[in-house]
Each structure stands twice: as structure tokens, then as C-alpha cells.
A and B are shown apart, each in its own frame.
Chain A
Amino acid sequence: MQASQKLWRFRGVSSTALFAFVYLYLPIVVLVALSFNANRIATLWTGFSLDWYLKVMDNENILRATRNSLIIACGATALSTVFATMAALAMSGRRFRGMAAINAMLGLPLLVPEIVTAVASLLFFLALGMELGLVTVLIAHTVFCIPFAYLPIRARLEGLDPRLAEAAADLYAGPFATFRRVTLPLILPGILSGAMLAFIVSLDDFVITFFVAGAGATTLPVYIFGLIRMGITPEVNAVSALLLLVSMAFVALSYWLGKRQS
């Protein structure tokens, strides 16, 4: 494209873009920087220190919340990725009646405001007499992780040459053998990136977890929320920075995986 041509330079576009990137990253940079601050007063820089990270590693409650977060994220990722892979395979097959309805339903968790989903799930679990805890959180997370896992897998299947599976069938491979030896290896990058996205959204979720967790299943974001409401401390900075860096690493990894394969 003739981006170099003068005609294509719209006034104010590059300065707005610069502003947008600074705006997006300044708070993140400030938060991470302050988490290495030696001072007890969380917003005044005095010197570099890893103390707060050590304190975080020592905090029983944070460790328990982290463990809950990881258990739920792993469980929800596994369930939603398997379900989503199966659904994506079916949806890329022959067209059938009700396909549009299923598509709409798959979009539902993405479009309905989180607070509505949270309230509906809470009322549902309470009406069933279920005790709020890890199980209810796991169910709620699996629900909203499904579309995130589904989309990359579906996209990957879309780009797949259907003649490959036909060739396998011509060579007497049964449906299962075709799937295991031909389709699965080809869509594996999609499955991996779907699983990673599911893992991140589960790990990061606050609102829905906050409603359906009950006392026993506090996850890391819910615990952080409680800490923030009590006040700003360097420990909050450190644990927040950690959570931020973990999800950033996952996004970058998922991006890299997707790029390497395409």
C-alpha cells in the first residue's frame, strides 16, 4: 500500500494512535514498576526491592487463592476445550436444521453482560440447593470458556481441505482413524490456542466468580478485589503484577503458536 504517499496521511491519526498506545500501557508499566518499590507507601518510589514478591509467596491466603484459581482454570479449560472441539467438528460437517440456533447459543456467553450471567447462575445454583464452592465456579467457568475455545478451533477447521479427510476415507480409514491421524494433527494448533484463551479468561474472571464462589472457593482475582477494597498495599501491587504478567505471557505464547503454524 502507498502508506508513504503524502495523500494517505490523515491529519491527527498518528498522534491519536501514539496517545492510544501510551494510554493502554502507562498504567501497566506504572503498576509493575511500583511492585518493585522498596517503600511501604505504595506510590512513592524509593528503591528497587523484591520484598513484596517474597511476602506474596509467603502469604497463606494468596497461595490458597492461587491454587483455587489454577484448579478451576485447568478444569474449565479441559472441559470446555474438549466440548468445543467436538462441537466445532460437528458444526464443520454437513449443514443441519438448528445450526443457526446453536451458533447463536455459542455467542450468548460473549454477548450477555457478565453481571447478568452471574446473577442468573447464582440464582440457579441456589434454587437447586447446591452449595457454592469449587464445583459451582467450575461449572460457570466452563460455560463462558466454551465460546473462547470454540472460535479458534472452528476457524482452523474452516481452513482445512475437506479432500484430506476424504482421501483418508478412500484409503479405508474409519471415522475415528481419520480424525486421529488426519484431522486432529491439522487442527491441533487451533485447539491449543483455544485452550490457552479459555485458560486466560478463566484465570482472569472476576464478576461471575465473585457471585458463585461462596466462601470456600476464593480465586486470585476475588482475593485481590478484597485486598483492593481494604486499601492499597505493596503486596497488592506485587500479586497484581504477577497475574498481569502471567496472562500477558499466555497471550504472547498463543499468538506465537498461531503465527508459527499459519
Chain B
Amino acid sequence: MSDIRTRLRQSMLLAPTTLTLLVFMLLPMVLMAWMSVLAPDTYGGVRWKEWSLDAYVQFLYERDLDDSLTLNSDYLAIFGRSFLLAGFATVVTLLIGFPTALYIALKDEKTRQRLILLVSIPFWTNLLVRTYAWILLLRNGGLIDSALSVLGLSQGELDVLYTPTAVAIGFVYSFLPFMILPIYASLEKLDWRLVEAAFDLGANRWQALRRVILPLAMPGIAAGCLMVFIPAIGSYYIPELLGGGKSLMIGNLVQNQFGTARNWPFGAALSFMLLALVMVSLWIYTARFKRPPGE
């Protein structure tokens, strides 16, 4: 009897959260997948009864006036660019983030806590505003430009803002804490006696790092890579603000379908493909490390 009452209480406690997530998170995703295989209406919206794979065909082909299809690599190029920029940001944040996490992990308790707070503050502060700060730094006549010309290091203008380079700088800056924190979490749990043992057995620093520390920190490194790669590949406002027209990414393309282009099924198809991409990388991660990221 009391068993049933415990179960009942448990389900009542869970109801608001489960219902909210089911109705307002999962259901919209299903709807999005459905809408991606419907025909678009003229001024936005969809024709509910008209099935169509046009959104996915449109991704690869251009429909000419006589209804023949020609290969169009524009959208593929945007996906490729997003992949490259997000991948590049992941590699660079790893190269900066791992040594930083190691540096913090090797400090004493009190310093560690202070440094982690220093990393966490940008993690929680407004990314949009932090991106805006880079416009002030990067634009022609901005801080970096003036500093370089005062030092006599540059000829003419910097011309970095509104290029893919600026987007990459923005990514690395925005997502660096996302890399440092999970790596630090795995280094913090690391049994340093193992490293000591490696030293005792005659390993040099490089060997200890490569053979002991890196393998043990691998779950944190992989989680960090996911936490940088996922938001970077789906990013909207960083390429919008720092990238200009030449560095359009998936996010901008998606937004465009609900703004000027008014093609909902195509927008839905694009974000569905982005979602699939992310789910595949998550699946690889869980298969490899047998646990969800962030744990």
C-alpha cells in the first residue's frame, strides 16, 4: 500500500517537469521534423496536407525554370564552413584550455577555487555582450588596430572584423570556459600518485603527460570538445556580428528562412540536419565513454 503511495507521490512530483519538457521541448522537435517534409506556403507557413521533400532537395539542387535539377553547392559550402570554423575553434580552445586546466589543477586548494571562479564568471555572463566587446577591439580604428599602428607593427588598416578570422576569434573567446571547466573537473579527480609513480619509474615530463595524464583526462577533454563544438556549429549571432556576409553559417541560414526568405520547411529541414549532426557526435561520445557529457 505504502509502495503505491510512494510511486504516486514520485510521479506527481515529476509531472510538471516531464510535461513541460515533453510538450514544449520534444513535441516542437517532432513538429519541426514533420514540417520539414511539407510544402512551403507562399508567405511563410506550410501547406499542412501537401507532403514534399523539396526542402531536402533544395539543400543540394537548384530547381530551374523548366523543373530540371542542377547541383548547387552553396548550402553545402555553408555547412562545410560551419564545420570547419567550429572544428578549428574546438582545436584551438583545446590547445589553450588543456594547459590552463592543468595549471589550475596543480595549484593548492584555495588558489584553485579562486581561479575556477575566474573561469566560471565569463561562462555565465552574457555571450552577446562579450561578442560585442570584440567589435570594439577588432574594428578598424579600434583598440587592437590603434595599438598595432602606434607600435608601428601594421601597415594600413587591420581589416579583421567581418571575416572568418574574426568569427574564429569570437568562438575561441566565447567557448574557452566550456573547454577549461570539464577538463579541470577530470583533472581534479585524477589520482596524482599515478603521475608520481610514472616519475619514479623514470618517465620524463612529456611521457608522464602523454601516457598518464592525457589518457586519464580523456573524458573531460571529449566533454569539453563537445561543449565547444555544439554551440559553435549552431551559433547565430557570433557570425552575424563578427562575420559579415562572407562568413555565413548554418545559424544565419536558418534564421534567414524565418526572416526574409520565408521558407519554413527549408528552415526546419536545416535545423533538423544540424540536430542530427549534433546527435551523431553525442552518440559517438556516449558510445566511447559510456556516460553522458558533463558527468
Contact = CB atoms under 8 A, between A and B. Distances in A.
B13 A96 contact: no
B10 interface: yes
Interface string B6-41: 110111011011101110111111011001000000
A109 B61 CA distance: 33
A116 B136 contact: no
B242 to A, nearest CB: 11
B129 A115 contact: no
A17 B104 contact: yes
B137 A30 contact: yes
A171 to B, nearest CB: 17
B126 A113 contact: no
Nearest to B44: A126
A104 B205 CA distance: 40
Interface residues of A, number: 96
A150 B17 CA distance: 10
Contacts of B245: none
A140 B294 CA distance: 23
Contacts of A115: 234-236, 250-251, 254-255, 271, 274
B212 interface: no
Contacts of B236: 114-115, 207, 210
A240 B106 CA distance: 35
B224 interface: no
Contacts of A237: 136
Contacts of B118: 21, 24-25
A259 B120 CA distance: 14
A7 B10 contact: no
A110 to B, nearest CB: 7
A140 B24 contact: yes
Interface string A38-55: 000011000000000000
B255 A30 contact: no
Interface stretch (B63-71, B73-81, B138-146, B149-157): B138-146
A132 to B, nearest CB: 11
B97 interface: yes
A248 interface: yes
A213 interface: no
Contact of A82 (B16, B32, B176): B16
A122 to B, nearest CB: 7
Contacts of B35: 123, 127
B99 A86 contact: no
Interface string A96-117: 1000001111111111111111
Interface in B106-154: 106-108, 113, 117-122, 124-130, 132-137, 139, 141-143, 146
A86 B132 contact: no
A10 to B, nearest CB: 6
Contact of A228 (B141, B241, B251, B264): B241
B129 A24 contact: no
A127 B29 CA distance: 13
Interface size class of B (residues with CB under 8 A): 35 or more
A94 B21 contact: no
Given A113-B233, A114-B234, A13 B103 contact: yes
B282 interface: yes
A27 interface: yes
Given A114-B234, A206-B237, A86 B14 contact: yes
A232 B255 CA distance: 23
A238 B254 CA distance: 31
Which of A23, A113, A221, A232 has the most chain B CB atoms inside 10 A of its CB? A113
A255 to B, nearest CB: 6
B268 interface: yes
Given A107-B292, A204-B127, A244-B125, A93 B6 contact: yes
Contact of B20 (A126, A146, A228, A259): A146
B132 A224 contact: yes
A12 interface: yes
Nearest to B258: A122
A132 B19 CA distance: 21
A225 B199 CA distance: 53
A43 B137 CA distance: 8
A251 B124 contact: yes
Ordered nearest first, which 10 A-B pairs have the shortest CB separation? A113-B234, A27-B133, A124-B28, A120-B28, A17-B103, A90-B13, A16-B99, A87-B17, A31-B133, A240-B129
5 contacts: A1-B106, A28-B130, A105-B26, A109-B21, A114-B236
Interface of A: 1-3, 7-14, 16-17, 19-21, 23-28, 30-31, 34, 42-43, 82-84, 86-87, 89-91, 93-94, 96, 102-117, 119-124, 126-127, 139-140, 142-143, 146, 150, 175, 197, 200-201, 203-204, 206-207, 210-211, 221, 224-225, 228-229, 232, 236-237, 240, 243-244, 247-248, 250-252, 255, 259
Given A106-B17, A114-B236, A204-B124, 6 more contacts: A1-B108, A20-B97, A87-B16, A105-B26, A119-B271, A211-B255
